[in-house]
Amino acid sequence: MAGYIAHALPKTNWTVLSQSAFQMNQCNNISYNTHQPLNRIESFKIIQEMKTTNCYHRVFVYDSNGSDLFDGTFERPMKTIQTAVSLTRILRTVHDNDKILCITIRGGIYYLDTNATTTSSQIGAITLTTNDSNLVIENYQNEHVILNGGTLLKLQWSVHVNTSQGGTIMKAQIPSCINLEQFNELYIDGLYAKDPGFSYNVSRWLPPTFNKGASVFNSPSNLWSTDSPPYDNNYVVPRGLIVNNGALPHIGNWSKPTTGFVHAFHSDYWGSWFFEIASINSTQNTIVFGRGSFQEARGAASGGAFYVVNIFEEFDSPNEWFLDKDTRTLYFMPNETMPQVFVISQISCLISISGSSFQNSAENISIQGLTLTETSHTYMRDYMVPSGDDWAVHRGGTLYLINTKNITITRNIFIQLGSNGMTLIDYNYATSIMLNEFVWLADSAIILVGSTNGIDGFSVTSQPVNTLIQSNLIHETGIYIKQSSPVLIAVSRSVSIIGNLMFNIPRAAINVNDGFYETSDHGPINTWDRQPFLSDAVQSSLPSVWQHKSFIHHNTLFNNYNSFYPIDHDDGSCFYEDSDNFQVYGDKKHYLGHSQLDHQEINVYPDTKSSQGTGVCIADQAPSHGSSSWNETWIANTFILYTSPIFEWLTFTICIYFTFQTVFWLYNLFLIYIEFNDIPSIDKYRIQKHKVKLRFQPEMIRQMKEGTIKHQLSLILTLPLLYYLLNYFGHISVRSSIPSLLTITYQIILFILGEDFLFYWTHYLFHTPWLYKHIHKKHHIFKQPTGVVFVLADPWESLLQNQVAVWLVPIVLKEKHLFTICLWIFIRVYQTINAHSGYDLPYISPQYYFPWLLSGTLQHDYHHQYAKMNYGSFLTLWDRLMNTHKLKRDN
């Protein structure tokens, strides 16, 4: 099914969040539960409580006991925040404009759609303008204030139908006062509900065609200053798709396919598209797209994985919902019990702060201690491309700022939102975003997007400047939009990002979208610099395309969750100084840029080849679009390698060698002991009872000493080659965690099957007359074998049967672990000594438990006695198939 239900509430414990971000939950004995019921969550905790604002006049708001006819005192609070804003504007007429006025909100849920005058994602239900400068909007003490972008519904539910899977679809009528066009999210008991849908793998994408399918928007700037927008192709998107037969089992029943949407990944999975469904052809399994695709700016002729949502006939799972706009009917399938609270989204922007121009900006406004939640999604609204890159952004958000100065946003929670959390558009000077939490957002958490007059950013003042983003907690973002970031910086300057914790995100934590003016201090980032801008970044009042240096320093960067480089300087990134960063997995990428300095950085395991990392320390890629990769300096950086050749080889050699020696000498010393001592309880299991015990005659001792020495030397000499081959054709993990029991088991079974096949046929060949006489006969010098006898072998025989047969499958297997290889060697040596022991001992012999399947002492002793039959090692499979299996116990 397509869809999900988010966790109810943000995580407010930094220790627990750090454990989650660093994947410590995968360690042993780590368990935790971080979510709290909505009615018990407190505002985001900070180490030091902020000082109480010095308010000249305070207006109180209390939804439960207030009235908009009251005067706004503590005893007579107002009911709505919008009316309180109007009251502060009246107070400005009798007080100095520089006096700080405060709107203090008592605890409760405030459904802002009730008094909203617009559904724009750029104009808030609470609209602050230049007339609201020197204003604080805050929660009262520790009371929980929730600003909600939906409408709380009291619905009359009835049963629509019982499904064949045992579920029940309920239905209810939506009141006429509800704007159905803005109703695109349903929240049940504080959680996202799911759209009914279905997931598929596509068979074929319909090729792009002029004037068909999705509309195409114009990028404001070219990439790399070339003729066409992208440097490799013009912007195209598919106009539909075809799925395999049977993949859409209900498509013939879709009564209103145009209500549906297709959510699809870009073919390279760096972004996602959303399409309206224009039409379908159920006999051909075809879906034709309507409007959409503009959520990503690079385009491609085909997509990746996709799913369809908002199709009534795909109703089959609990917590799914569907709105029939024609009849104003809401359908919902509960999970056993009906939820108590239904909130339908109505607006996407809760608060906007906007001046009329940068000269007449809204100034000195603070928003603190609020929770903003449950808004409409905006992924089908207009997107734009801010500069010469392949990212598109929606220029709207839950909290929207334009033409502002000295705005402070602190101690707020942005949770379960259908758009960006905060949006700073064009001129915003000295904005502080501190100590907030952003969680479960459809798009980015914070975006800064400016504009220029083409290349000219010098003569215009329409960019965010001097922004501080500090000590925020950002996770579970980009729920709908793959091409999103906790922080996106585009055509902005002087941005400081300090001390934030960001994780569980679909792409880079911080995306520096272009080289406009540049910025300072980042977390795990992806940077671009595809086009120049004219600015006075280097010297005031002197326009130049030369940019000010950006600094990335004193960050801890965990490149886990299958990401790429901790710091990815992509596509012409220039003028960066990276220093004092602690980076785990993977290292630095410099691609087509120049003028970069890296120093005093610690890079841990940059060469890992597991799911994390890139396998390299530095990826400084040569130019392909002009002159680049110059003026790059690397000073005093430390690399701690995951795969140190010497350490890894020594570990492998020591472990394999001592595994072999342990089982070889312990089992053989046991056999030597019983050979020199008469122990009736053991002697009765000796197979060739009619023969006198060997007692290790001098010639036998000489042969075994010579064979043992040669075998030990060959083992030591071949281990380096084996280690090389194990890594050449795949990867052997030496330091990572031991694999699961299931993985170990199936790999050991593969090793046994492969070895037994190779051993049988090489052994069979060695018993052909010429090979037996010149090579294999040496191994049969003793017809009454004992454990040490297996080392008596010609070098060619040893190579094929003790090396190739044993190691070929482990070598070609892509991923293996040293523990599994050691276990395999233990089993192989134990089985070989056991087969040559001359004793059919119970309990300690594997064939005792599976006599029909496993080959063992009885088979191999017969083979040594008569020099024929029983050519297998572990199994009797090939002997039985080739009719070479023979048992004859000598009584």
Pairing of β 399-410 and β 432-434: parallel
Asked whether residue 514 carries a pLDDT value surpassing 90, the answer given is no
Q: Which two tokens stand for residue 754?
A: 């492969």
Supply the pLDDT for residue 522: 38
Supply the pLDDT for residue 602: 87
Q: What is the mean pLDDT of residues 297-307?
A: 86
CA distance 335 to 287: 31
Q: What is the mean pLDDT of residues 614-636?
A: 69
CA 687 vs. chain centroid, Å, equals 60
Identify which has the larger pLDDT, 291 or 4: 291
Supply the pLDDT for residue 389: 66
CA distance 147 to 374: 9
Supply the pLDDT for residue 373: 96
Q: Which residues contact 328 (CB under 8 A, 6 or more apart)?
A: 173, 174, 176, 180
Asked whether residue 150 carries a pLDDT value surpassing 80, the answer given is yes
DSSP designation for 580: S
Pairing of β 602-604 and β 582-584: parallel
Supply the pLDDT for residue 361: 96
Asked whether residue 199 carries a pLDDT value surpassing 80, the answer given is no
Supply the pLDDT for residue 609: 54
CA 291 vs CA 184, 239, 303: distances in Å: 17, 10, 16
Q: Which of 786, 777, 567, 757 is nearest to 673 (CA)?
A: 786
Identify the weakest region by mean pLDDT among 24-33, 72-81, 138-147, 223-232.
Answer: 24-33
Identify the residue whose tokens are 């042993």.
28
Asked whether residue 25 carries a pLDDT value surpassing 70, the answer given is no
Q: What is the mean pLDDT of residues 442-461?
A: 86
User: What H or E segment, with its residue span, contains residue 863?
Assistant: helix 857-866
CA distance 249 to 257: 14
C-alpha angle 109-110-115 in degrees, rounded to nearest 5: 160
pLDDT tens-digit map of 71-107: 999 999 999 999 999 999 999 988 888 899 999 999 9
The per-residue DSSP string of 782-808 comes to -SS--GGGGG---HHHIIIIIIIHHHH
CA 41 vs CA 9, 44, 142, 795: distances in Å: 8, 9, 10, 73
CA distance 461 to 452: 8
CA 628 vs CA 225, 374, 594, 890: distances in Å: 15, 47, 6, 82
Identify the weakest region by mean pLDDT among 186-195, 218-227, 688-697.
Answer: 218-227
Burial of 73 (0-12, 13-18, 19+ CB in 10 A): exposed
Report the amino acid identity of residue 750. L
Asked whether residue 752 carries a pLDDT value surpassing 90, the answer given is yes
Asked whether residue 446 carries a pLDDT value surpassing 90, the answer given is yes
Supply the pLDDT for residue 229: 45
Q: Which of 616, 599, 518 is nearest to 565 (CA)?
A: 616
User: Average pLDDT, whole number, for the chain?
Assistant: 82
Asked whether residue 782 carries a pLDDT value surpassing 80, the answer given is no
The per-residue DSSP string of 51-79 comes to PPP--SEEEEE-TTT--TTS--SSSS-BS
Q: Give yes or no for a contact between 791 and 711, defined as CB atoms under 8 angstroms apart.
A: yes
| 17 phi, psi to nearest 5 deg | -65, -40
pLDDT confidence bin for 627, thresholds 50/70/90: low
Q: Give yes or no for a contact between 262 and 274, defined as CB atoms under 8 angstroms apart.
A: yes
CA 208 vs. chain centroid, Å, equals 31
Strand partners, 638: 602
Supply the pLDDT for residue 891: 39
Q: Which of 508, 528, 499 is nearest to 445 (CA)?
A: 508
Q: Which two tokens stand for residue 881?
A: 């198939």
pLDDT tens-digit map of 813-838: 988 999 999 999 999 999 988 888 88
Identify which has the larger pLDDT, 12 or 521: 12
Identify the weakest region by mean pLDDT among 523-527, 690-694, 768-772.
Answer: 690-694
pLDDT tens-digit map of 237-269: 899 999 888 778 888 899 999 999 999 998 888
Supply the pLDDT for residue 49: 40
Radius of gyration of the chain (CA): 36
Identify the residue whose tokens are 């790999």.
747
Burial of 854 (0-12, 13-18, 19+ CB in 10 A): buried
CA distance 397 to 419: 6
pLDDT confidence bin for 441, thresholds 50/70/90: very high
The per-residue DSSP string of 663-708 comes to HHHHHHHHHHHHHHS--HHHHTTBS-TTSPP----HHHHHHHHHHH
Q: Give yes or no for a contact between 238 and 207, defined as CB atoms under 8 angstroms apart.
A: yes
Q: Give yes or no for a contact between 551 and 600, defined as CB atoms under 8 angstroms apart.
A: no
Pairing of β 342-345 and β 150-153: antiparallel
Q: Give yes or no for a contact between 87 and 78, defined as CB atoms under 8 angstroms apart.
A: yes
C-alpha angle 362-138-69 in degrees, rounded to nearest 5: 90
Asked whether residue 345 carries a pLDDT value surpassing 60, the answer given is yes
Supply the pLDDT for residue 218: 47
What percentage of residues in the chain have a pLDDT greater than 70?
A: 82
Q: Which of 615, 633, 500, 634 is nearest to 564 (CA)?
A: 615
Supply the pLDDT for residue 365: 97
Q: Which two tokens stand for residue 478?
A: 């980009």
Domain boundaries, the chain: 711-881
Identify the residue whose tokens are 């983003």.
469
Q: Which of 445, 447, 505 is nearest to 476 (CA)?
A: 505
Q: What is the mean pLDDT of residues 295-308?
A: 87
Q: Which residues contact 774 (CB under 8 A, 6 or more apart)?
A: none
CA distance 663 to 583: 42
Q: Give yes or no for a contact between 520 and 498, defined as CB atoms under 8 angstroms apart.
A: no
Q: What is the mean pLDDT of residues 770-797?
A: 78
Dihedral of CA 455/457/462/464: which sign?
positive
Strands (E), 492-647: 493-498, 501-503, 510-512, 518-520, 525-527, 550-553, 556-558, 567-569, 574-579, 582-584, 588-591, 594-599, 602-604, 618-621, 632-635, 638-640
Q: Give yes or no for a contact between 420 and 443, defined as CB atoms under 8 angstroms apart.
A: yes
280: Cα within 13 Å, side-chain hemisphere: 22
Identify which has the larger pLDDT, 638 or 116: 638
Supply the pLDDT for residue 214: 44
Supply the pLDDT for residue 455: 73
Count of beta carbons in the 10 Å neighbourhood of residue 688:
17
CA distance 208 to 237: 6
Q: Which two tokens stand for residue 453?
A: 């007059």
First to last CA, the chain: 67
Q: Which two tokens stand for residue 133?
A: 């400068």
Q: What is the mean pLDDT of residues 750-777?
A: 92
Asked whether residue 50 carries a pLDDT value surpassing 60, the answer given is no
Q: Give yes or no for a contact between 171 and 158, defined as CB atoms under 8 angstroms apart.
A: yes
Q: Which two tokens stand for residue 784?
A: 């009454």
